[in-house]
Chains A and B, each alone.
Chain A
Amino acid sequence: MTSTNGATLSAPSATKHVLGVLVENHHGVLSRIAGLFAARGFNIDSLTVSATEDSSMSRMTVTLCGDTAVIDQIRKQLDKLAEVVTVEDLTEQGAHIERELVLVKIAYPREKRTDLLEIAATFKARSVDMTPETIAFEISGNQEKIDNFLTMITQDARIVEIARSGVVALVRGPGGLRKSFYED
């Protein structure tokens, strides 16, 4: 998206944002939200949906890059959707916990196995499947940690396949999206 004020997604001032979105647990709401991003040309890095502590709501976590003007516009557009209960920019709020779960299967030369297992141990990745040619790891963490882990293991091995859950996030401290929605 380009706004005429000069803000673009690829602008140098673009930074990563994590949006927490609570939505009415209603048929079709995922496609509605995904449709909004598609129609307005907002590029998102990941989108996850899940049930919540309140069965009448689902929670989406959206990660995307943009400068303040773009993120602000995205938030406001989300706010206009009738099923959106609340939207918060967790990045803006500062302290939040962010995790992604990754399953990655690598093919490795036999002599590198110990090295790879050591790297895995350093990153607290668990090996969850192993054959003479491949290992599957499970790792969770923030994206930076995961990216570092992948960089390290691909020095001696090749990724056969990878599945990433997308980012999920919570605000730190006693608060939460639903709490602040009802209390605000």
Chain B
Amino acid sequence: MAIAEESIITLEEERRGGPHPLAGKEMMGAEMVIQVLADQGVDMIFGYSGGAILPTYDAIFRYNAEHAEKEIRLVVPANEQGAGFMAAGYSRSTGRPGVFLVTSGPGATNCVTPIRDCAADSIPAILICGQVPRAAMGTDAFQEAPVYSIMQSCAKHTFLVLDPEELEATIRTAFRIATTGRPGPVVIDIPKDVQNWMGKFRGEGYLNLRGYEKRLAKLRARRVEEESMADFFRMLEQSSRPLIYAGGGVINGEAATELREFAETLGIPGVTTLMGIGALDTTGDLSMHMLGMHGTAFANYAVEDCDFLIAVGARFDDRVAGKVAEFAPNARNIAHLDIDAAEIGKVKNVTWSYVGDTGRCLDDMVRHAKRTGFKKDFSAWRKHCAELRAAHPLNWDRDSPNIQPYYVIEELNRITKGEAIVATGVGQHQMWAAQYFDFKRPRTWLTSGSMGTMGFGLPAAIGAKMANPDKIVIAVDGDGSIRMNLGELETATTYGAGVKVLLLNNQGDGMVRQWQRLMFDERFSGTDKTMHKKDFVKAAQADGYEFAERLNIDEIDKVPKMLKRFVEHDGPAFLEVMIDPAALVMPMVGPGKSYREMIVGEWIVPREQGAPAAQMDGKTKADLF
């Protein structure tokens, strides 16, 4: 691929106003890699070294020796997957792409899961892999893996650098691709001899991606046309029950401020997806919290009741839409704002759409409303929503003698008040955290939404803490999920990353057990861990945690005090809470079901008498997932 010549790219850093100070300098390929990373503002690299990436690790060492005031911090995990999720935690919490750097073969293949995880949740990240020297490629050389083919089916984009002259442009282009349009991870595979190559550093230049750049320029220039804007407001005018449905695109697209402004100006309440948590302030009046499979009952009722659904940066995922044809059954109109044209009409037909920067679109809408004096009174609908919230709140068995997970999170939330960064594993604890924590700001809720990757929580929390040393960062993990990357417990103490690890131990794979209970006649195949021997507190102590505590299942009284000590502890802290293994995530809209079939369990008040019982009908289970 050619270096872009008459480039259609005009970039901020290109307007530096003069050549790069190092332009023309003879450098090794590896040095160029690090120099471009530094130019891109990278202050931290998560990674693990090895034969094929040695020259680049050496270049970091030398770079840092020369730039003591502006070091690139190197964070070494226990496993490359951990590095990937640390980079993801860094990225999700800051919006800047996290970078991870690994060796060829096993180093690279250990990164497949985080790369796919980032792609599925549209998280910008950069993975640099060492590769065997060009001459050895294709010979089944030691630690050779077909990284290009493996990664290209998982990442937003993948580069294999075969021409060293293109190396520096490739690194820059990777950042460009990762952070523009619908963001995503980019993988760069660099043969060792390309790292060792000596050449002239240019300090500028991108690879030629004409189509991508052109589409991007169009996307960026796009505004809602006058006529289309009028259509939107006509739909809003005709509506009496409009509802915002905000997804991860609002977070990733930095559109939360505009969304809040839009909601407040027009007086429209909103629900968010799991990925969209933080798009609205969950403590605010207009927030109806999370919708979907484990959304709040009141959110799902609002979706059922709305007559105009405004989807922003959301994609009607199966965990949200359930039975698509019956999703938002009373919505006469559906508007869909998204950066990705392929999402419009992919799952659900909509009556109005805009493809482009959602924040800009919302901002234009607010201006339009103000300019035209658009006024429509939705107070009756807001009152209805408030009543739904009051009548059908989340709830659980408050008299149980056993510690309930909901209680633990509710108490923790009393301390952190919606200001903490929370990362999770995958399972029931993830859903409880989503339901019971408040989130006042975007980029404070870090969860593996689309992939649902167990093992995400602990390393993501570490990455987020390293990027946000002044914030409280809590990893809410399950006993299954934490085992997946347990090695990273030590990474936190090694680097003094003061994460708070809250382990909700229900002695097994609670979420899977929940499905087995509801759909497989309680045959707990492969999900019971009551006989497992792990002493997590000892494990944490062994890894250097000065705060490592356990609350037994009946020690309810001790919960508030213990949580306070846990959060206030200066440095990494580990707290295991033994919770009621029978606790369920409720409500639940079964897979492929309509919201009308939502079950609410014993403790949440449904709005219809005779709502479906807490048992899923066995007939439909064949293909559901």
Interface set of A (CB-CB < 8 Å, partner B)? 3-5, 22, 24-28, 31-32, 35, 39, 56, 69, 72-73, 76-77, 79-80, 82-86, 181
Contacts and interface: CB of A to CB of B under 8 A. Distances in A.
Nearest to A7: B345
A25 B1 contact: yes
Interface stretch (B208-216, B284-292, B301-309, B562-570): B208-216
Nearest to B157: A82
A69 B181 CA distance: 23
Nearest to B2: A56
B177 interface: yes
B346 A181 contact: no
B152 A31 contact: yes
B324 interface: yes
Contacts of B345: 3, 5, 69, 72-73
A28 B152 contact: yes
Interface centre among B148, B211, B321, B341 (most CB of A within 10 A): B211
B215 A79 contact: yes
Contacts of B215: 79
Contacts of B325: 4
B365 to A, nearest CB: 24
Interface of B: 1-2, 148-149, 152-153, 156-158, 160, 162, 177, 181-182, 208-212, 214-215, 321, 324-325, 340-342, 345-349
B321 to A, nearest CB: 8
A25 B210 CA distance: 11
A153 B158 CA distance: 47
Given A24-B1, A27-B162, A80 B182 contact: yes
Nearest to A5: B349
Contacts of B340: 80
B341 A181 contact: no
Contacts of B152: 28, 31-32, 35
A5 B209 contact: no
Nearest to B349: A5
B214 A181 contact: yes
A69 to B, nearest CB: 7
Nearest to A79: B215
B211 A181 contact: yes
Contact of B1 (A26, A84, A86): A26
A76 B341 contact: yes
23 contacts: A4-B321, A4-B324, A5-B347, A5-B348, A22-B211, A25-B1, A26-B1, A31-B149, A35-B153, A39-B153, A56-B1, A76-B341, A77-B342, A79-B215, A79-B342, A82-B156, A82-B212, A83-B1, A83-B209, A84-B212, A85-B211, A181-B210, A181-B211
A43 B215 CA distance: 26
Nearest to A85: B211
A77 B2 CA distance: 24
Contacts of B324: 4
Given A25-B1, A76-B342, 17 more contacts: A4-B325, A22-B211, A24-B208, A27-B160, A27-B162, A28-B148, A28-B158, A69-B345, A73-B346, A77-B342, A79-B211, A79-B342, A82-B177, A82-B211, A82-B212, A84-B211, A86-B211
Given A24-B208, A26-B1, A39-B153, A4 B342 contact: no
A26 B162 CA distance: 11
A82 B345 CA distance: 22
A25 B1 CA distance: 6
**In the complex, which of the residues A4, A22, A26, A32 has the most CB atoms of chain B within 10 Å of its own CB atom?**
A4
A4 B157 contact: no
Given A4-B324, A35-B152, A82-B177, A24 B342 contact: no
A54 to B, nearest CB: 10
A24 B209 contact: yes
Given A24-B1, A28-B152, A76-B342, A4 B208 contact: no
A82 B209 CA distance: 7
B341 A79 contact: yes
Nearest to B347: A4
Nearest to A29: B1
Contacts of A25: 1
Nearest to A76: B342
Contacts of A79: 211, 215, 341-342
A79 B212 CA distance: 8
The 3 nearest A-B residue pairs measured at CB: A76-B342, A85-B211, A26-B1
Nearest to A28: B148
Contacts of A83: 1, 209, 211-212
B210 A85 contact: yes
Contacts of A77: 342
Contact of B342 (A5, A22, A80): A80
Nearest to B149: A31
B215 to A, nearest CB: 6
B37 to A, nearest CB: 20
A96 to B, nearest CB: 20
A83 B213 CA distance: 10
Nearest to B341: A76
A21 to B, nearest CB: 10
Contacts of B209: 24, 82-83
B484 to A, nearest CB: 25
A5 B350 CA distance: 10
A76 B160 CA distance: 25
Contacts of A22: 211
B239 to A, nearest CB: 23
Contacts of B149: 28, 31
Given A82-B177, A85-B210, A181-B211, A3 B347 contact: yes
Contacts of B181: 80
Contacts of B210: 24, 85, 181
A85 B213 CA distance: 9
Contacts of A31: 149, 152
A63 to B, nearest CB: 21
Contacts of A76: 341-342
Contacts of B321: 4
A77 B345 CA distance: 13
Nearest to A23: B211
